[in-house]
Each structure stands twice: as structure tokens, then as C-alpha cells.
A and B are shown apart, each in its own frame.
Chain A
Amino acid sequence: MSQSTTINIKDQILNGIVKENTIFKLALSLCPSIAVTNNLKNGVLMGIAVLFVQVMVNITISLLRNVIQPKVRLPIFMLVISGWVTVTDMTMAATVPDVYKQMGLYIQLIVAFASILARAEMFASKNKFIPSMADGIGMGIGFLFALTVISFFRELLGKGSLWGMPIVHTKPVLMFILPAGGFFAVGILMAFFNWIDARYMKKSSHAAH
């Protein structure tokens, strides 16, 4: 058990980023993937907020796992999650008020993220402190990565800028910062990752032969 801890942590983090990427692979918590990704800054901040909540929730649940009665575990998980979301919500309202104004509702709705509850239930409630934290970091970074990629493309294509700074000077495709364009962007990126996956699988199966 102990000798494989280091590998486990690395695997656990990678698992969240690549194999079980919340958005591209599990297709969970999709709402913010479109709602806040019309510019890079919002996308990254949202990703960080989720990363923070995910890690803190996993840590808290992991520490409390021997105290929580199994029968009432779900309400307690919800309580822990909404507690941390409230902390995040109020912190962001105080520190980045301009961003918060645009996406406050979506920050509050982190509560309803199936992925956070799922990790708490499936992983943190059964594992020790360190692996739980690693799991939270992996899932959170995977989410952050997905939001960063999506918002990178949407801001570049839709506004011709990145993090508010103009990059391209031709007329951008306004569509991509609008709702419909968000769906297109996510759909196309998902297909792209599927395609890479399929190629990778083909290669690895060839190698196995």
C-alpha cells in the first residue's frame, strides 16, 4: 500500500485531467463550460474557483469521513459543499467585483455540480487525506484546463483578443462569444478530443500487437 502512494498521487492527478476530464469526457458540470467561457479571464477564474472548492471539499470530507454517519452523508456533503461555495462566492465578490458581476450566479451554482458531489461520495469519503487532496487537485485542474481551452478559443475567435488584449485585427467572428457559438465551440472541441483519443487508441493497440 505505502510503496505505491507516490505513483497513486500522480495517477490520481492525471486521471482527473485526461482520463476523466469532467467536461470533455464525463460531460458533467457543463453549464459553466459555456456560460462563463466567452472570455479567457472569466474562464480561468471560474476554473480556479471550482478547483478551490473541489480541493477543499475533498479535504474536508476526507478528514470527516470517520465521523460522518453513512445514513446522513449526502445532506452533510451538500452542507460542506455549499459552505465552501459560500466562502468562494463571498471572496470573489470582495476581490474581483467586476468579474463577479458577470458570473456571480454561476459561482453560486457550483453547489449543484454533480462532479464535486460525485468525487466526495466516490473518492474522498473512502480515502485518506493526501490521495483525496490529489484527487481534488486532478479533477479541479482538469476542469480548469477544459475551461481555459474553451475560453481561449472563444475569446480569440469571437473578439480577436486574449485576456482583454487585442491580438488579431481583422473582423472577428462575433458568433463565438454568443450563446450559440459557445455550444459550437464545446461541441467541436469535444469531437476533436474524441478524434485524438481514437487515434491514440489505434496507435496503442497497434503497438500492443
Chain B
Amino acid sequence: MEATKKEHQLIVSVSPHVKTDETTSRIMWSVSLALLPAALAGVYFFGLRALFITALCIVSSAVFEQLYFRMVGKKSAVGDGSAFLTGLLLGMNMPASLWSFSPFTVHVPVIASFVAVVITKQLFGGLGFNVFNPALIGRAFALISWPKAMTIWSEPTAAFLAMDAKTTATPLGILKEEGVVKLLEVFGDKMSLYMHLLTGNRAGSIGETSAIAILIGGLFLLYRGYITWHIPVSFLGTAAVIAWVFGGKGALFTGDPIVHLISGGMMLGAWFMATDYVTSPSVRKGQIIFGIGCGFLTMLIRLKGGYPEGVMFAILIMNCFAPIIDRGVKSKVFGAVKQNTAKENK
């Protein structure tokens, strides 16, 4: 009781973001709402385990955030929904197969949540100051720490309650290892492949498979004005062009951009991860540069790199560059003035 009373008294003075507190939390919950279709699709295709993993990520994120606030004696901001959103995104980026007790891999989402919320967000000074997308760092940490557990992909549409399912490869994994011919063989023909990819009936992380569900959420955010078109369009556009020009076997201009756009984490990344306010440039021109960079790096890693999927790394690498991009775009206005004054001083 004491604590809550104190909180109310302190509301005005503690946080520098008081004015935008309400807006922040509204944005967080709206984005979470926009993710719902994709998350539901994931639960539909990968069963109850997907729900468990996602819930585990959300709960651990919130708990770690609360514990952190308690430890450093700050006013708790768990209610702003940012821990919920981070947990949800993190869970959607994990394979459902992690819900397994022998071998025991349930700790993976928990530790990943800790890395995401505490190390990537709170150590940097909390929401608004983090340089990297927390959910993506959590996932990258997990992928590199437990490479095997993080790449066991179970087949979709197993029985809903099943706690284990036949494992298989992701479409991008097949594309990388065995080529497009094998991919078509697995899914029948081109139309069937597209349909599987659009609906989300394919192996992958829980929330990344259903392109349509993600698109619905993305368009909702766009319509409500929570994101602008600059990053998703430049991201997907660049990736599509590169896939079309260089993605084919042998000759240029023979690649299939559609497969690349709706497979892997491309849709989820372009609409929900790259558009994160804090970790992407704030100026429109910068956002377009950011998106182009993401698209380029994603395709570079997919076509030439060691990993089958590059979205996560591409966004993280561009996160590093976001402050520089912001600086570069802005300094055209401010830099000129600064130089003049410097000269006058001399």
C-alpha cells in the first residue's frame, strides 16, 4: 500500500517521459494487439506448445523487469506494456519445439527474456534509450548460445495438444541447402508453395510463418498511424529487387522475390521489428536508408552468408547504424551552422 501511494505522489517528478507515458503505453498495447493475429496463427499451426512458449516469454519478461525495478529502487513501469510486447515478440521468434523437457530446453526462453529486458533495455537506461531491439538480441543470444535447440523446427498442423511433433526444415533452410527445385518438390507446385507461405502452414518460428496474419497487423498499425510506410516498404522493396536480380540460379533476373518476401522472418521483421521507434532512425529519410540497409543485409546473408535467415542479424546490424544515420541526416541542418560558428571563433 505504502509503495503505491508513493508511486502516485512521485508520478510527476521521476520519469522524464511523464508527458508521453500514456501514449507510450497505448502504442505498446496497440502493437501487441496488432501482433495477435500472427500469434494466434502460430498457436493454430504449432499447437499448445507455441502458446506455452509465448506465455513463458511474456511472464519472464514482466517478472525480470519488475525485479529489476525493485532492485534499483525505481518506480515500476511494467504497466506500460513494453515488457509485455518484448516478451510477445521474443516468444513469436522462438520455435515451438523449445517446450521440451528431455532434453530440457525450457530455460532458453527464460534466459533470452532476461537478456532482452535487463541487458538490452534496462542497462541502457530503460525504454527509450536502448540501442538494440530487445527481442531480437534475446533471440540472437539464444540462437548463438543454443544453436541446436533453437533450430529444431516442428511440422505445423500436428495435433493441437501434441507435445512433440515430427521435425522438418524451414523453407529457407531447404532453399539454402538443397535449392529451389527441392523446395517446389516438397510443397508440390509454385501455387501451393505460395499458399503455404501466405497462410503460415510451414515450419518456422511461432509467429513468423503466417504472412497474411502479419500483414493484417502491419496494415492496422499503418492505418492507425503508429508506424509509417517508409521502413517496411524500403526494407521489403530492396529485398525483393535483390532476390529478383541475384536470387536465381546462374542467370541474373531469374530469382523469385515472392518466396523470399513471405518466408523466414521477413514480414515480421519488416513490419514489427525494424519499425521499433527507439532503435530505428527518427527522420523519414533516415528511415528509408535504414530500410534499404536491412533489406540489403538480409539478402546478403540469405544468399551468401553462413546462416539461412538474415532478417534478425540485418536489423541488429542496422540498429548499430541508426544513431549514425540520424546524425548524418540531421547534421545537414545543424552541422552547417555549427561549422560557421567554429570558424568565427577562430
Instruction: Report A's interface with B, CB cutoff 8 A.
Output: 170-171, 173-176, 178, 180, 184
Q: Is B149 an interface residue (CB 8 A)?
A: yes
Do the beta carbons of A173 and B149 come within 8 Å of each other? no
Q: Is A175 a contact of B149 with CB atoms below 8 Å?
A: no
Any A CB within 8 A of the CB of B144: yes
Shortest 8 CB-CB distances between A and B: which pairs? A175-B145, A173-B145, A174-B145, A175-B144, A175-B141, A171-B146, A178-B144, A174-B144
A178 partner residues in chain B, CB cutoff 8 A: 144
Interface: B334 (CB within 8 A) = no
A interface secondary structure, majority? helix
Q: Closest CB of chain B to A52's CB: distance in Å?
A: 35
Please give, as numbers and ranges, the residues of chain B lying within 8 Å of A173 by CB-CB distance. Answer: 111, 145-146
Task: Indicate with 1 or 0, residue by residue over B92-113, a CB within 8 angstroms of chain A CB atoms.
Answer: 0000000000011100000100
Contact pick for B104, options A170, A176, A184, CB 8 Å? A170
CA A32 – CA B141 in complex, angstroms? 23
Q: How many residues of B contact A (CB 8 A)?
A: 11
Chain A contacts for B111, CB-based, 8 A = 173
Write out the residue numbers on chain A whose beta carbons fall within 8 Å of the beta carbon of B104. 170-171
Per DSSP, chain B at the interface is: helix
Q: Are B147 and A171 in contact (CB under 8 A)?
A: no
- In whole angstroms, what is the CA distance A93 to B246 when docked? 47
In whole angstroms, how far apart are the Cα atoms of A175 and B145 in the complex? 4
Complex: how many Å from CA A174 to CA B145? 4
Looking at B104, B144, B149, the one whose CB has the most chain A CB atoms below 10 A away is B144
- A residues in contact with B146, CB < 8 Å: 171, 173-174
Q: Is the CB of A171 within 8 A of B103?
A: yes
Q: How far is the CB of A84 from chain B (nearest CB, A)?
A: 38
Please indicate the chain B residues that have their CB under 8 angstroms from the CB of A171 in the complex.
103-105, 146, 149
Interface residues in B295-332 by Cβ distance below 8 A to A read none
The smallest beta-carbon distance between A189 and chain B, in angstroms, is: 14
Given contacts A170-B104, A175-B144, 12 further A-B contacts (CB under 8 A): A171-B103, A171-B104, A171-B105, A171-B146, A173-B111, A173-B146, A174-B144, A174-B145, A176-B145, A178-B144, A180-B144, A184-B119
| Chain B window 143-156, contacts with chain A (Cβ cutoff 8 Å), 1 for yes, 0 for no | 01111010000000
**Cβ contacts under 8 Å, B144 to chain A:** 174-175, 178, 180
Contacts of A170 on B, CB cut-off 8 Å?
104
Complex-state Cα separation, A46 to B111, whole angstroms: 31
Tell me the bound Cα distance from A178 to B147 in angstroms: 13
A-B contact pairs, 13 of them (CB 8 A): A170-B104, A171-B103, A171-B104, A171-B105, A171-B146, A173-B111, A173-B145, A174-B144, A174-B145, A175-B144, A178-B144, A180-B144, A184-B119
CB distance from A188 to the nearest CB of B (A): 9
A177, closest chain B residue (CB)? B145
Cβ A174 vs Cβ B149 within 8 A? no
Which residues of B in the span 113-146 have a Cβ within 8 Å of any Cβ on A?
119, 141, 144-146
How long is the Cα–Cα vector from A178 to B145 in the complex, in angstroms? 9
B105 surroundings in chain A (CB, below 8 A): 171
Within 8 Å CB of B145, what residues of A? 173-176
Residues of B within 8 Å of A176, CB to CB, are 145
Q: Looking across the interface, which residue of chain A has its beta carbon closest to that of B145?
A: A175
CB distance from A176 to the nearest CB of B (A): 8
Q: CA A71 – CA B329 in complex, angstroms?
A: 50
Which residues of chain B from 60 to 114 have any CB-CB distance to chain A below 8 Å in the complex? 103-105, 111
Q: Which residues of B contact A174 (CB under 8 A)?
A: 144-147
Q: Nearest Cβ in chain B — how far from A91, in angstroms?
A: 36
Q: A180 contacts which chain B residues (CB < 8 A)? A: 144
- Whole-angstrom distance between the Cβ of B148 and the nearest chain A Cβ: 9
**How near does chain A come to B121, taking the closest CB pair, in angstroms?**
15
Q: Render B41-72 as a binary contact track against A, CB cut-off 8 A, 1 for contact.
A: 00000000000000000000000000000000
A178–B146 CA distance with the chains assembled, in angstroms = 12
Closest partner residue, chain B, to A171 (CB atom): B146
Q: How far is the CB of B92 from chain A (nearest CB, A)?
A: 22
* Complex Cα spacing A184 to B111, Å: 14
Could you tell me the distance in whole angstroms from the C-beta of B278 to the nearest C-beta in chain A? 21
> Closest B-chain residue to A173, C-beta based?
B145
Q: Complex Cα distance A173/B145, Å? A: 5
* Bound Cα distance A176, B111 (Å): 13
| Chain B residue nearest in CB terms to A157 | B145
Bound form: Cα–Cα A176–B103 in Å: 21
